[in-house]
Amino acid sequence: MAAMIEVLGVVKRFGRFNAADRLRFSVDADAIRPLPGPNGAGTTTTIKLQDRHQPRFARPKRWEFVTGGTLAPNLALPNLLAMANPANTQGRPARRTSATAAGAGRCARPPAGRRFGNGTCAGNPPWAPALLGVALAIGLLAGSAPARAGNGTVVAEAKPFVTHFTAYGQVEPITILKLRAATTGVVDGLDVVPGAEVTAQTMLARLTGPTAAAELADRTAAVASAKAVFATARKAFGIQRQNLGLHLSTEQTVFQARAALLTARAGLDSAQSRLQAVRSELAVRSPKSGHVLTVAVADGERVEAGQTVLTIEPADDLWLKASFYGADAGAIRPGMQGRFRPAGGGPTIPIEVRSILGTLRPDGGLVAGSVAALPAPEWRSGESGAVVLDGQKGTLPAVPTRALILDQGSWWVMVHSSRGNERRAVVPGATQGDLTLIRHGLAAGSEVVVENPYLEFHKDFSRAYQQPD
């Protein structure tokens, strides 16, 4: 981009003191270059040098300094000094600075009585340098400033938004399986350790001992007796059916033999079921796949009926628990959708809030339990990460962030109306780039001050104080 102003090797001395020593800088079009410095650094002198050698009429070609160096604009600027003193342009011929080597850049000698004590050119008052600097900044800003509604304001536009609730969450088991001894016995074959992975219906140990053996023997004998009764009843039923064909038996006798056969069959099924139940009670099996958490007994130890042998954490009964904080946490409801991002990496898992666990915690947090929205999620117990829930959708007015004013813990904006600029308390929300959504206190379409809103807010600051005696 071409330079709008270029300063080359400017030097200004006051005796032995160098106010500007080989100063070089440039200002691009549509840009602002600050000229900072403490008192005595020569910043004011630099601006005055610029003004002193500015011709009094528009479209200057080149600025030259008395003490050397040039300030060359590539774009013509308005004659700000002539604007400050219109008398300079009323029927007066154009005066140009001398370009000779002996007096490069000196102003033409003004008429008598038209010279100010500060040495500026005729018709240029002492405050002209400040006016030139302010006007130059405004001119440079005009090319890149956003569209405004007027009076340094912008219109608050309605922007779509989605409320997000963010928290830290951890994957936990919904339930813990406790495998208990179904009958009294001695643990045999228990060789698992905590952390071991087990699959469903895997036998982890057996219960043996005199009590278990006696009960197993009784059930086995009952099955054998029921089989004998069933065999006898089946044989009798066959004989009666054969005799019925030879007219040696009646239909009633056949029906009675069939009823006895059915009763014997039911007795055999019952005996076999009791035997299977005893065998199942004597085997310690995992009903689900998972990981062993604790082992409560040792191999060879005697246990009583109902005593815990070990605990298992199921692999498919996991959910996500997260604590949400803030005034909006109470808006979380079951059924809300969201996502879980594991801290250790991996794919994002969609989730759904299943329940809210009671009331607020003592620290102000609200605990929500969520389950995976997809079957067989790729998460593990103890895994942690970020939980993001999608809440309410809608539109909110948005203003430039620079329009917000923080005063005594509250946020304000200056709203422009037909009565002038007035204060308006607001509640900011999320940000979208350089815009901030306003949740409460402002309506879309309002004109908000963006030019020095803080100064406008505190313009009556001095009224709260009394001048000292």
Among 242, 302, 232, CA closest to 263: 232
**Least confident span in 24-28, 61-65, 130-134, 284-288:** 61-65
CA distances from 317 to 320, 345, 354 (A): 11, 22, 13
Tally of structural domains, the chain: 4
Whether residue 114 is predicted with pLDDT greater than 60 in this model: the reply is no
| Residues 209, 93 share a domain | no
Does residue 171 sit within a domain? no
What is the rounded average pLDDT of the residues 334-362? 87
Of 393, 415, 438, which residue constitutes the final position of a domain? Answer: 393
Does residue 169 sit within a domain? no
Q: Kindly report, residue by residue over 352-400, the tens digit of the pLDDT.
A: 999 998 765 666 688 999 999 988 888 888 899 999 999 878 899 999 9
Among 204, 242, 150, 249, CA closest to 447: 150
| Residues 293, 187 share a domain | yes
Return the C-alpha torsion angle 380, 381, 384, 387, nearest 10: 80
Compute φ and ψ for 212, nearest 5 degrees: -65, -40
User: By the 8 A CB rule, do 49 and 27 touch?
Assistant: no
CA distance 301 to 286: 19
Helices (H), 185-250: 210-245
| Residues 21, 119 share a domain | yes
Amino acid at 31: A
H or E segment and range at residue 51: helix 43-52
What is the residue whose two structure tokens read 């350790």?
193
Helices (H), 309-407: none
SS3 of 284-313:
EECCCCEEEEEECCCCCCEECCCCEEEEEE
| Residues 368, 444 share a domain | no
**Least confident span in 74-78, 325-329, 369-373, 442-446:** 74-78
CA angle 330, 332, 336 (to 5 degrees): 170
| Residues 52, 25 share a domain | yes
Does residue 205 sit within a domain? yes
**Least confident span in 82-96, 256-270, 304-318, 319-333:** 82-96
Mean pLDDT across the chain: 77
Does residue 175 sit within a domain? no
pLDDT at res. 340: 95
Phi-psi sector, 152: left (phi>0), alpha (psi -120 to 50), beta: left
CATH of residue 265: 2.40.50.100
User: Could you tell me the pLDDT band of residue 412, with boundaries at 50, 70 and 90?
Assistant: very high
| Residues 131, 82 share a domain | yes
Compute φ and ψ for 84, nearest 5 degrees: -70, -30
CA distances from 41 to 5, 23, 120, 158 (A): 21, 12, 21, 48
Of 278, 313, 348, which residue constitutes the final position of a domain? Answer: 313
Burial readout 2-32 (b: 16 or more C-beta within 10 A, e: otherwise): ebbbbbeebbbeeeeeebbeebeebbeeeee
Helices (H), 125-168: 128-142
Does residue 168 sit within a domain? no
* Dihedral angle sign, alpha carbons of residues 78, 83, 84, 86: positive
Does residue 165 sit within a domain? no
Amino acid at 413: V
| Residues 248, 325 share a domain | no
pLDDT at res. 244: 84
Q: How far apart are the first and last CA of the chain?
A: 57
pLDDT at res. 387: 95
CA distance 120 to 132: 13
Among 190, 357, 365, 356, CA closest to 283: 190
CA distance 215 to 198: 29
Coil/strand/helix, residue 469: coil
| Residues 230, 116 share a domain | no
CATH of residue 369: 2.40.30
Does residue 386 sit within a domain? yes
Compute φ and ψ for 357, nearest 5 degrees: -85, 85
| Residues 374, 415 share a domain | no
Does residue 9 sit within a domain? yes
| Residues 213, 108 share a domain | no
Whether residue 13 is predicted with pLDDT greater than 70 in this model: the reply is yes
CATH of residue 408: 2.40.420.20
- Tokens for 356, please give them: 């809210």
Among 392, 430, 399, CA closest to 158: 399
| Residues 93, 14 share a domain | yes
Of 393, 422, 451, which residue constitutes the final position of a domain? Answer: 393
Paired residues of 197 in beta bridges: 291
> What residues make up the domain containing 266?
180-313
What is the rounded average pLDDT of the residues 440-448? 93
| Residues 369, 438 share a domain | no
